[in-house]
Structure 1
């Protein structure tokens, strides 16, 4: 029986691999010639195994911390210049969630947000240049409301949203205004 072809590499995954190589080079873990070869492999990789070979033998990546915001009933609201950890878990049984990442301090190229929401609405505003991945999200009763940004530029952070929504609606929007990170 023939093997199923491996899924194609998304631009967000490829961009994260390139950033990882650049960080390793800047820290002195990769020589000039090796950097050129690894970048070429990362940029031309068609399968995840090829991409992994470009990242092989790099030192362990700092995955950042995991933060949890939890409330039984009520509101969760974060906006302004708040620091977002690499992994953010948001839990709410009943209530509203409003996460505005447009002016947040994003220190990692990929941010994972895990939602565990029962009932209520949720809204996430991402930076204009962010790419959003919602493949790991299970919406229960209502569909996801997400319109990719029309003016998005490459090179911004990747926001991966996963988890489960019960009886609420999730809206994801790109910021309209230009922030300091968009310049």
Structure 2
């Protein structure tokens, strides 16, 4: 089956609308557009149904230089890997540790993507991941070796947060995921 060419009348999906919203937010952060202009364009981008409607709100913005290459790797043989405070979380975060401890605190982090993938590769160490209180978490992709993954979703979910998918292997270490307290 051949695919149709991308024309101005081509219908767009949620992924294209989300990408346009990210470009608009980046343009605002770079002070290319005002807050009011961003809000107005976001409304149009999130309700766009065709390529032409979506292109209209981003036509005068530069292309995203990151593209799909928004991936970072944190690796250590031993010792600790710690990220906390206002650090920028990439779309895909690969974390590898043979013997060390990992502590990722996303509660105050800058999360620019609606979905974050965290790929774990643990040997004997352990990982503690703190997610924002309004995040949803998927741990089905983690293969526990010696100890099980510890995660208890909140009783009352708050919508609007990022979706965090955690995959990989935990070897002989423990993986613990918890939600941050509400501020």
Q: TM-score, normalised by structure 1?
A: 0.66
The answer as to whether partners of 1:93 and 1:117 remain within 8 angstroms in 2 is: yes
Aligned residue number for residue 125 of structure 1: 130
Instruction: Determine if the alignment matches structure 1 residue 157 to structure 2 residue 162.
Output: yes
Instruction: Please provide the CA RMSD for this pair.
Output: 2.8
* Contact preservation (8 Å) 1:103, 1:127: yes
The structural deviation recorded for 1:152 is: 2.6
For the 8 Å contact 1:125–1:172, the answer to whether it is kept is: yes
Specify the alignment match of 1:94 in structure 2: 99
List per-residue Cα deviations over 1:38-60 (Å, max 9, x = no partner).
xxxxxxxxxxxxxxxxxxxxxx9
Aligned residues: 138
Shift of 1:34: 4.8
Please tell me whether residue 77 in structure 1 is matched to residue 82 in structure 2. yes
Match of 2:147 among 142, 145, 148: 142
Match of 2:175 in 1: 170
Distance 1:76 1:129, change over 3 A: same
* Kept in 1: contact 2:17–2:45 (CA 8 A): no
Q: Is the 8 A contact 1:73 1:94 kept in 2?
A: yes
1:63-110 C-alpha deviation (Å, 9 max, x unpaired)? 351100110011111111011111100010001111000000001110
Cα distance in structure 1, aligned partners of 2:173 and 2:72 = 23
> Normalization by structure 2: what TM-score?
0.66
Which residue of structure 2 lines up, in the alignment, with residue 66 of structure 1?
71
4+ runs deviating over 6 angstroms: 27-31
